[in-house]
Amino acid sequence: MSWFVLLGMAVIIFMSRYVFLEPKLPMVLGPHLQRLLTYSAPAVLSAIVAPLIFIEGEQLHIGFQNRYFVGAIIACLLIVVTRNTLLTVLVSMGLFFLVL
């Protein structure tokens, strides 16, 4: 049973990606949908990272005692100042591991 579910989900995921990636298919997204899809990556990243930053154990932990929270604030300030993603990632990771 679980192999059928696994293979079924693999087929569904493959087909949903194939429709958008195959250039020979006459599938064209409208400009509104394309603009809407530009927000999907930041939304998914925020959904993954927010629990790591704000939750410790099973409780909400917002404060400067939370090193993940402080690291996120530093990274946000760096990206606003530098506008360079690679530099922000390298500097904030270095600060996180060395100082925090």
| pLDDT tens for each residue of the chain, 100 residues long | 799 999 999 999 998 888 877 878 777 788 998 899 899 888 999 999 999 999 988 899 998 888 889 889 999 999 999 999 999 999 998 988 887 6
Rounded to two decimals, what is the model's pTM? Answer: 0.63
Q: Structure tokens of 32?
A: 């509104």
The enclosing H or E element of 59 equals strand 59-60
Q: For residues 34 and 72, give the distance between their C-alpha atoms in angstroms, rounded to a whole number.
A: 29
Neighbours of 92 (CB within 10 A): 20
pLDDT score, position 100: 62
63: DSSP letter: S
pLDDT score, position 98: 87
pLDDT score, position 30: 87
